[in-house]
Structure 1
């Protein structure tokens, strides 16, 4: 008799509520639950209207995403997709702005909650970040207190929410301020006053995302007496490792934006300590960890203590930023983009001063030159604005690539060790299977090329021709630039010497005259 998956069986007949379903991790979570836990009853997706689209229309966009291709191809795939139930609501509103019928449906049925909704923009104004990340979580927690069958509430935080800690343990840390008082503060204070106050509130936090996630963890812990809670802290979540599609990624956040920007020749310098560990976690590994943690909490007796799990890379199988960038460089030279601004080049700089100089000469000046040419030819300038956005994004990322981080992950490691053999196969993480980073980064490059830049594999021969042309153009530019620098140097050197020659000759003549007499 074939061994059954304990985790899949746990989710049988369960009613699951997912917030953040339209996001990168949310899509992978939904697909994985449907495909690997096919006996579940319903997945409720909290979706709000956006950009003129109603929640049901947004649900259609989700299930038409390539992530769900495997399910569409299965004989019973459409039946599984029918288990998705769209709930129109807004997490920032009291009671999530639910209809009476939807509220009662959730109260009577929900067993497990995966709370993933958050604004992940690091440059978000404090008010918006607090109201969504902290206030939205409070609204959901208040509603969850009325769920009659709740066995697990999985809160998704981030391993970088306590940035004053170099070594982060799997435990709760006190927030710098009372989350309820901060919620009250942003509700009445004017935007200008709040903007000037923001740096003083953030202190050790590098951005509003980290700050609000820190506040939210403390808020979540306050509900531990009422709810079966667990806090999870994923590190930097990257493209899919194995499933549902190797290399799949649908956004340009974090390392993906760096990879695409460098591959297109837009990013030519980055401030980074190449020796430091790049704590990246593939999205499928992160989602498998969340599902496993949800099972563990739901299958265990309720505790008033909040357990914390770090969803971070295997400490025995890591890659440094320098290694990751070098491997990435090799693969995007072999698999270039069809449309590039310039030949991919540049390097990472451990010195901030060297990085600033490189940015001025390799980012800023070329951006102004290109925009000047665009204006001369009657086109709309774009590159200065683009470079400013890229630089803002790099500054955010550079905070994490120039500091050492160490995350304890004993709780997740112990949980993985206790999983059955079949569960380790179905709900694999990089703690149960080691990543071949060379192969993973190759699939990452190909995935970003296909799903973010929308270039099919058939365009590769043309892209390689474009890359060769850009190489020769870049070589010609370097030769011209070298000749120009030598000419400028020789011109100023000869001018300097000619100015010194007159006094020098006069001085010798004078000396001879004196000697003769």
Structure 2
């Protein structure tokens, strides 16, 4: 989502002065190297063509880390943000569902607290967009666009995570989670309340995207840059790696194209920044990973605000920011996502399609052959068992 957000802001918001990205060192790469790596993505091909030089002249990195106290910012960088920033998009989080509670709380909960502490000092803050998840209240159905009571006190939770040893905390984790499936959902729900405490004090918006998948239109149809979630499963199925999924054919999956999510983020920031204390909550997000808990259950999500949001967009901005979700052809979109995964993840070219089809035919032949061998062996074994012969004798067939 971060890449698509940056690309959309640079390409469609012409008057935007600059973007500051909070980047940490990762796997031996310095922030400046990571910034160059981000821009090298195919996501920015259209931007490079339509607005050459926009990224280089308007995107700057700030060295820091949301898991650190004070976000790991230097005094100089903190002063820069306080004086120059008008809109904050807080989307940094750990989306691993199996993180220990201490790790998830440090990134998703304390990280949000540190970003809020920074936002409190920003002199000309117009919008604070906090990206949560539609699944932050999975113990309810339907899940409405409202704030539900917290599952725990977030201050107590931070204190517990800081004071208890890992083993004790691991034992207590199931008691804290209760009906919630994992530490990701639990800490994201508490993080909402960190933000919500500043209702009326800061221009906050909480957005709740569901499972974010490939782009519908922008920057390119089917663009994706990771194997997480449904797209990864789809590719694994297409390559013959994954043959079985633990789910139900009756479940209606709740996915949202990444560009639709990003358009709503930007539209929400504009509404909040131009109309004071308007409370917006979206039923949109990035549960980046699809695990059994989410693909074996179904919830009813209310999205009146999300649908109504686009009606606020000015006529002149509709070509760039209006999003149509009712008329999406789901089947064509899924095909487009698969094609995008083939192009952007597998790096396969369209001229390779005959070769891929031939590979698919070989896999199918091998699959049928193995099934015949398996069932043939099983039938041979069964026919030679005493039970099978006795049964035939009793039926008078031998």
Give the structure-1-normalised TM-score: 0.73
Query: 2:35 aligned to 53, 56, 59, which one?
Result: 59
Secondary structure of 2:384's partner? Answer: helix
Matched, 1:469 2:362: yes
- Residues 123 and 494 (structure 1), Cα distance of their counterparts in 2 relative to 1, 3 Å cut: closer
CA distance in 2, matches of 1:228, 1:402: 37
CA deviations on 1:358-386 (whole Å, 9 max, x unpaired) are xxxxxxxxxxxxxxxxxxxxxxxxxxxxx
CA deviations on 1:121-171 (whole Å, 9 max, x unpaired) are 111111110000000010010011110000100000000010111101111
Contact 2:264/2:309, CA 8 A, preserved across alignment: no
Give 1:457's aligned residue. 350
Matched, 1:70 2:46: yes
Matches within 5 A, 1:359-398: 397-398=291-292
Contact 2:22/2:63, CA 8 A, preserved across alignment: yes
Give the structure-2-normalised TM-score: 0.94
Secondary structure of 2:20's partner? Answer: strand
CA distance in 1, matches of 2:185, 2:54: 40
Matched, 1:414 2:303: no
Matched, 1:233 2:208: yes
Matched, 1:286 2:179: no
- Residues 498 and 289 (structure 1), Cα distance of their counterparts in 2 relative to 1, 3 Å cut: closer
Give the drift of 1:498. 9.9
Moved over 3 A (4+): 493-496, 498-501
Give the drift of 1:251. 1.1
CA distance in 1, matches of 2:41, 2:97: 26
Number of residue pairs the alignment of both structures matches: 392
Matched, 1:209 2:102: no
Secondary structure of 2:14's partner? Answer: coil
Secondary structure of 1:446's partner? Answer: helix
Give the drift of 1:438. 2.1
CA distance in 1, matches of 2:198, 2:63: 25
Q: Which runs of 5+ in 1 are unaligned?
A: 1-24, 313-392, 502-517
CA distance in 1, matches of 2:109, 2:391: 70
Give the drift of 1:186. 0.5
Contact 1:169/1:408, CA 8 A, preserved across alignment: yes
Matched, 1:177 2:152: yes
- CA-atom RMSD, angstroms? 2.0
Contact 1:34/1:81, CA 8 A, preserved across alignment: no
Give the drift of 1:218. 1.0
Contact 1:92/1:131, CA 8 A, preserved across alignment: yes
CA deviations on 1:22-46 (whole Å, 9 max, x unpaired) are xxx0000000000000210010100
Matched, 1:307 2:283: no
Matched, 1:40 2:16: yes
